[in-house]
Amino acid sequence: HPASRWQQWKDYVKEGDIIVSLEGQAIDAEHPLDLVLSGYAPGQAVSVTILRGGQTTTVRVTLGTRPES
């Protein structure tokens, strides 16, 4: 289920950040984050590029399961 494949971003992505790509795949209207994440399993490590304050940075994160909230 795509909604269950989600990184618990709290240590990496802050409020106001924009996730621009996951493993080199642009996150946009045609490739929403949930759809792109559905191709990965919890426990997999992926590269996430975020835009923060006008600058991009890439971090390596391990996917977890999406919280039930």
Cβ neighbors of 40 (< 8 A, separation 6 or more) are 5, 23, 46, 63
Residue spans of alpha helices (H) in 1-69: 33-37
Q: Is the pLDDT of residue 44 over 80?
A: yes
Higher per-residue confidence, 65 vs 47: 47
Average pLDDT across the chain, whole number: 82
Please tell me whether residue 64 adopts helix, strand or coil conformation. Answer: strand
Q: What is the pLDDT of residues 4-33, one digit of tens each?
A: 444 445 566 778 889 999 999 999 999 999
Full-model pTM: 0.75
Instruction: Using the predicted structure, report yes or no on whether residue 69 has a pLDDT greater than 80.
Output: no
Look at phi and psi of residue 43 and say left if phi exceeds 0, alpha if psi is from -120 to 50, else beta.
left
